[in-house]
A and B are shown apart, each in its own frame.
Chain A
């Protein structure tokens, strides 16, 4: 099934997943069986060798229907990208085919109560212990932490920040579901405690000192890219829903779309959505060419697209009137999800700082 058809088939369930216990296991399985997890991994590692553009389009399709579906692709892709880039030969062989096939579900566990935008402040510790490494600490807001078989954990250690893969079934791992949050309610988010969890030394990815800048950096760059495209999906989907609504709903003997003000607002939403898509396509092209600037342009894509998603979804809610606020409102759900995208993988304020640096270096 192509991803547009898959997204269409998920449309009917999305509201119930959001209101209930989250994305059901069989839906997660169907995403894996469709080949959508870590599809950009090279074929030799079990992936499909998809281009950045193909992954982006997948995330736009899924994001326009259900942010949790898109988030599943995001977190699996983040961990796969980090292991592909910074795992050694043995680690790639051990993990990548299982991630691409969905036999192992991965989550990214970096944030702590004391370390959010500033991840260098993480307090979770990885230390040497007889037989391997010991992990001690507590992570919060781990997307798909309830479903994950393995966590990519960012921690401090003797030689600086480092990362390791920690399997969820190891003694000392406790998963505490997070529920009732504003957005991304179906993304099976969890807080995760690591109480002196012992892992083999072979689970450490990259040497100490490179955990944040290189390993988490690679994961977050990949995450920004897929979140950005998910936001394109949110903006385009909200625009479509709204065009349909204002074209059919009548009040005072006129369709809502008969009001100039309503049509102008739709025009503004179209401009926002189209611009977001163009910026994301630009980032995808730079990624495909392996350009160093792809990293900053991906920050720009995520910044632009998440702002478009919040703006368009907010207008969409208003143009739907009470129907936009109702419990089963699709645009309402997408708006709650869009707000999250302005915070994760670098909030606006932090992105703007990086983009300012990027602007300075681009001056001629």
Chain B
């Protein structure tokens, strides 16, 4: 939904779908929604690309090179916010 009132609020459904990727990729992980999983060192070198594919498939969007500018993929909450922005932009 629109994030115009509170940019920090994250859509629960989107976050759940983002978390689903990590629960499949790293069974039993205890990564918090604001943890930087790259900094934690739990993400192997193939997972960065798998994450992109997962987000694209789960939400029917395309991750462009411009989207790499921000820390969009560093935490689950960041990723969920990024997805919401992309979906909102696609809706126009």
The smallest beta-carbon distance between A222 and chain B, in angstroms, is: 11
Chain B, residue nearest A88 (CB): B65
Q: Of A88, A295, A360, which is within 8 A of B53 by CB?
A: A295
Size category of the B interface is: 20 to 34
Considering the chains assembled together, what is the distance between the CA atoms of A213 and B50 in angstroms? Answer: 10
Chain B hits for A324, CB < 8 A: none
Residue A86 is within 8 A (CB to CB) of chain B in the complex: yes
B27 touches A363 (CB 8 A): yes
Chain B hits for A292, CB < 8 A: 21, 50-51, 53-54, 57
Residue from B24, B44, B46, B56 with most neighbouring chain A CB atoms (10 Å)? B46
The smallest beta-carbon distance between A205 and chain B, in angstroms, is: 7
Considering the chains assembled together, what is the distance between the CA atoms of A206 and B64 in angstroms? Answer: 9
Chain A hits for B64, CB < 8 A: 88
B68 touches A214 (CB 8 A): yes
Q: Is the interface of B mostly helix, strand, loop or mixed?
A: helix
Q: Of A88, A205, A221, A363, which is within 8 A of B66 by CB?
A: A88
Size category of the A interface is: 20 to 34
Considering the chains assembled together, what is the distance between the CA atoms of A293 and B25 in angstroms? Answer: 10
Considering the chains assembled together, what is the distance between the CA atoms of A19 and B56 in angstroms? Answer: 47
Considering the chains assembled together, what is the distance between the CA atoms of A35 and B53 in angstroms? Answer: 28
The smallest beta-carbon distance between A79 and chain B, in angstroms, is: 15
Residue B40 is within 8 A (CB to CB) of chain A in the complex: no
The smallest beta-carbon distance between A119 and chain B, in angstroms, is: 9
Considering the chains assembled together, what is the distance between the CA atoms of A343 and B66 in angstroms? Answer: 34
Considering the chains assembled together, what is the distance between the CA atoms of A206 and B48 in angstroms? Answer: 14
B53 touches A294 (CB 8 A): yes
A361 touches B46 (CB 8 A): no
Residue A354 is within 8 A (CB to CB) of chain B in the complex: yes
Chain B hits for A323, CB < 8 A: none
Chain A, residue nearest B25 (CB): A361
The smallest beta-carbon distance between A124 and chain B, in angstroms, is: 19
B57 touches A87 (CB 8 A): no
Decide yes or no: A296 and B49 within 8 Å by CB, A290-B57, A361-B25 being known contacts: no
A291 touches B48 (CB 8 A): no
Chain B, residue nearest A91 (CB): B65
Chain A, residue nearest B28 (CB): A360
B56 touches A221 (CB 8 A): no
Decide yes or no: A213 and B48 within 8 Å by CB, A291-B53, A291-B57, A292-B21 being known contacts: yes
Chain B hits for A218, CB < 8 A: 49
Residue B26 is within 8 A (CB to CB) of chain A in the complex: yes
Residue A114 is within 8 A (CB to CB) of chain B in the complex: no
Chain B hits for A293, CB < 8 A: 50
Q: Of A209, A213, A363, which is within 8 A of B45 by CB?
A: A213
B26-54: which residues lie under 8 A (CB-CB) from chain A? 26-27, 44-46, 48-54
Residue A299 is within 8 A (CB to CB) of chain B in the complex: yes
The smallest beta-carbon distance between A61 and chain B, in angstroms, is: 28
Chain B proximity mask over A198-222: 1 for CB below 8 Å, otherwise 0:
0000000111011011100110010
Considering the chains assembled together, what is the distance between the CA atoms of A157 and B52 in angstroms? Answer: 23
Chain B, residue nearest A87 (CB): B65
Considering the chains assembled together, what is the distance between the CA atoms of A218 and B53 in angstroms? Answer: 11
B27 touches A295 (CB 8 A): no
The smallest beta-carbon distance between B37 and chain A, in angstroms, is: 13
Residue B69 is within 8 A (CB to CB) of chain A in the complex: yes
Known: A207-B68, A217-B49, A294-B53. 16 other contacts (CB 8 A): A86-B68, A87-B65, A205-B65, A206-B65, A213-B45, A213-B49, A217-B46, A217-B48, A218-B49, A290-B56, A292-B21, A292-B57, A293-B50, A295-B49, A296-B46, A361-B27
What are some 7 contacts across the A-B interface (CB < 8 A)?
A87-B65, A207-B65, A207-B69, A214-B48, A217-B49, A292-B21, A360-B27
Q: Which 3 A-B pairs have the closest CB atoms?
A: A213-B48, A292-B50, A292-B53
